[in-house]
Amino acid sequence: FCYLMAADEASIALIENMEEFTEATASSLTVVDFTAAWCSPCMRILPVFVGLSVEFEGKMKFAKVDVDIADDVHQHVGIKKLPVFKVYKDGQELDEVQGANADELREMVIKASAL
C-alpha cells in the first residue's frame, strides 16, 4: 500500500490493484472511496472523507481506489458512477453511498462504527 498523508496526519491507504483491495477489505472494518483524478465531485468531497478518517481513526480503516489506476478493482466491484463509498468487513460489502453527499457519507461511517 501507499499512504496519502494529509496535513492533519490522517493516513488513507491508496489501493492500486486487486491484491491490495482484497488485503484491505479482508478483515478490518474498512471504508473505501472509489474515485478518479478527473472527477470534480470526488475532489469536492475528499476533505470530508479525510476528516472522517481522522475522527474515526482506530475504529476503522480508510482507503482510496483511483478507478483509472486500479482498473481490476473497478471492474471487480462494478463501479458505474463516481464517487462511490463502500464499507467492507471480512471481505463482504456492508453498505454503500453513491455521489458526493457529505451527510450520507457521514451517516454511513457512523453506522459502520457501531458494528
- 23-69 tens-digit pLDDT: 999 988 999 999 999 999 999 999 999 999 999 999 999 999 999 99
What pTM was estimated for this model as a whole? 0.90
Q: What is the per-residue DSSP string for the chain?
A: -EEEE-TT--EEEEE-SHHHHHHHHSSS-EEEEEE-TT-HHHHHHHHHHHHHHHHTBTTBEEEEEETTT-HHHHHHHT--SS-EEEEEETTEEEEEEESS-HHHHHHHHHHHHT-
Q: Which is catalytic among the residues 24, 29, 32, 39?
A: 39
**Domain at 2-113: CATH code:** 3.40.30.10
Average pLDDT (86-91) is 96
pLDDT of residue 51: 93
pLDDT of residue 27: 85
Determine whether 42 is an active site residue: yes
Q: Which is catalytic among the residues 10, 12, 29, 42?
A: 42
Confidence check: pLDDT of 10 > 60: no
